[in-house]
């Protein structure tokens, strides 16, 4: 049978505001409600950020704990927390959600220009984050924003800070990172360590073509307002519709959509 596709919904992120898209979930209740909607639509995993009362990005462990508890009460979604947080946050701040027993956590494998700013992930920070995840038994999702970051992932493997098989997410189309083209995706997938699982998150207008490419290539797909606020040019999206579209496309390509239980098996989660 064709490999089922794991759909991950990146619900809110740290960069988008409600002013840009009123459908963005920012309160604890809104994030939980959107998680339920994308789960009903076919997502198996959520990539989580949280916001504070002012709607600003936060890595506060209490906020994460409330969101995760609410999602787990209503769904069997796989919970993946961000350790990227927002540009400029300290390492200690970013690590907080690892205290909330997520299933996975992101591990960014290098620094990258991020619009006008720098998303800083120096080697000692990467190594420390990997060590904490290993200690807590949390599977990393390796965030790859540029091609050299795969070499950093290999270095972590050599140093025993990652346990194979790896799970990788190619975040392509960040202004400052590797462009969101099918050619780049093919190159990255061909460069992966054998046995790795992978998904792609295309930023902005690259979200749809890269999702379609991943479906055709046997990979997994991340969509959501964190990466892209439009459904099509000039029309704002919401998280459920973005997931529903991937489900329809998967159907056309005869890729079954993984339930959270199937996704857990594919990712080797216990
Ligand atoms: N908000 C970006 C600076 C992650 O979640 O791990 C980092 C980010 C990656 O979103
Ligand atoms: Zn994120």
What would the pLDDT profile of 42-52 be if each residue is shown by its tens digit?
999 999 999 99
Ligand 1 touching residue 237 (CB < 6 A): no
Distance 74 CA to ligand 2 centre (A): 22
Residue 168 above 70 pLDDT? yes
Ligand 1 touching residue 138 (CB < 6 A): no
Ligand 1 touching residue 129 (CB < 6 A): no
Mean pLDDT of all residues in 116-139: 98
Distance 233 CA to ligand 2 centre (A): 23
Distance 2 CA to ligand 1 centre (A): 31
Q: How far is CA 33 from the centre of its chain?
A: 18
Could you tell me which residues come within 8 angstroms of residue 107 by beta carbon, excluding any fewer than 6 positions away?
A: 83, 126, 129, 130, 133, 140, 141, 142, 143
> Please, are residues 22 and 42 in contact by the beta-carbon 8 Å criterion?
no
Ligand 1 touching residue 119 (CB < 6 A): yes
Query: Residue 2: which pLDDT band, with cuts at 50, 70 and 90?
Result: confident
Q: For residue range 130-152, what is the model confidence (pLDDT) as tens digits?
A: 999 999 999 999 999 999 999 99
Could you tell me which residues come within 8 angstroms of residue 129 by beta carbon, excluding any fewer than 6 positions away?
A: 83, 91, 94, 95, 107, 140
Distance 13 CA to ligand 1 centre (A): 7
pLDDT in the model for residue 16: 98
DSSP of 52-96, one letter per residue?
Answer: -TTS-EE--HHHHHHHHHHHHHH--PEEEE-S--STT--HHHHHG
Closest ligand 1 atom number to CA of residue 143:
6
Ligand 1 touching residue 247 (CB < 6 A): no
pTM greater than 0.75 (yes/no): yes
pLDDT in the model for residue 47: 99
Q: For residue range 178-211, what is the model confidence (pLDDT) as tens digits?
A: 999 999 999 999 999 999 999 999 999 999 999 9
Which of 1-5, 10-14, 83-87, 233-237 bottoms out in mean pLDDT, i.e. has the lowest?
Answer: 1-5
Closest ligand 1 atom number to CA of residue 47:
5
Ligand 1 touching residue 111 (CB < 6 A): no
Average pLDDT of every residue of the chain: 98
Distance 86 CA to ligand 1 centre (A): 6
Core vs surface per residue 59-97: b (16+ CB within 10 A) or e: bebebbbbbbebbeeebebbbbbbbbbbeebebeebbbb
Nearest-10 crossing angle of helices 239-252, 28-41: 20
Residue 1 above 90 pLDDT? no
User: Based on the number of CB atoms within 10 Å of its own CB, is 115 exposed (0-12), middle (13-18) or buried (19 or more)?
Assistant: exposed
Q: How far apart are CA 68 and CA 35, in angstroms?
A: 10
- Read off the DSSP letter of residue 97: G
Mutate to test the pocket of ligand 1, among 9, 10, 11, 14 (most ligand atoms within 8 A of CB): 14
Counting DSSP H helices and E strands in the chain, the numbers are 9, 14
Distance 247 CA to ligand 1 centre (A): 25
Q: Is the peptide bond before 165 cis (omega within 30 degrees of 0)?
A: yes
Residue 270 above 90 pLDDT? no
Distance 10 CA to ligand 2 centre (A): 7
Q: How many CB atoms are closer than 10 A to CB 187?
A: 13
Which residues are in the CB-under-5-Å shell of ion ligand 2?
A: 82
> Please, are residues 164 and 195 in contact by the beta-carbon 8 Å criterion?
yes
In this structure, the strands spanning 57-58 and 50-51 are antiparallel
- Read off the DSSP letter of residue 4: P
């Amino acid at each position: 049978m064709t490999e089922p596709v794991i759909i991950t919904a990146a619900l809110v992120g740290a960069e988008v505001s409600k002013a840009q898209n009123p459908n963005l979930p920012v309160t604890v209740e809104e994030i939980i409600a959107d998680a339920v909607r994308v789960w009903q639509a076919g997502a198996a995993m959520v990539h989580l950020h949280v916001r504070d009362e002012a709607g600003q990005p936060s890595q506060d462990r209490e906020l994460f704990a409330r969101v995760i508890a609410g999602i787990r009460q209503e769904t069997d979604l796989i919970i993946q927390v961000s350790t990227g947080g927002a540009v400029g946050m300290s390492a200690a701040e970013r690590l907080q959600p690892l205290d909330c027993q997520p299933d996975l956590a992101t591990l960014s494998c290098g620094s990258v220009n991020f619009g006008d700013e720098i998303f800083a992930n120096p080697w000692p920070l990467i190594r420390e984050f990997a060590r904490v995840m290993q200690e807590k038994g949390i599977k990393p999702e390796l965030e790859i924003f540029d091609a050299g970051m795969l070499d950093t992932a290999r270095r972590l493997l050599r140093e025993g800070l990652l346990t194979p098989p790896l799970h990788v997410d190619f975040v392509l189309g960040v202004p400052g990172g590797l462009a969101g083209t099918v050619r780049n995706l093919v190159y990255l997938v061909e460069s992966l360590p054998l046995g790795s699982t992978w998904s792609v998150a295309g930023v902005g207008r690259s979200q749809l073509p890269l999702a379609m490419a991943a479906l055709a290539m046997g990979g997994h797909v991340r969509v959501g307002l964190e990466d892209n606020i439009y459904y099509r040019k000039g029309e704002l999206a919401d998280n459920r519709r973005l997931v529903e579209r991937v489900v329809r496309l998967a159907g056309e390509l005869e890729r079954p959509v993984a339930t959270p239980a199937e996704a857990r098996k594919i990712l080797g989660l216990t």
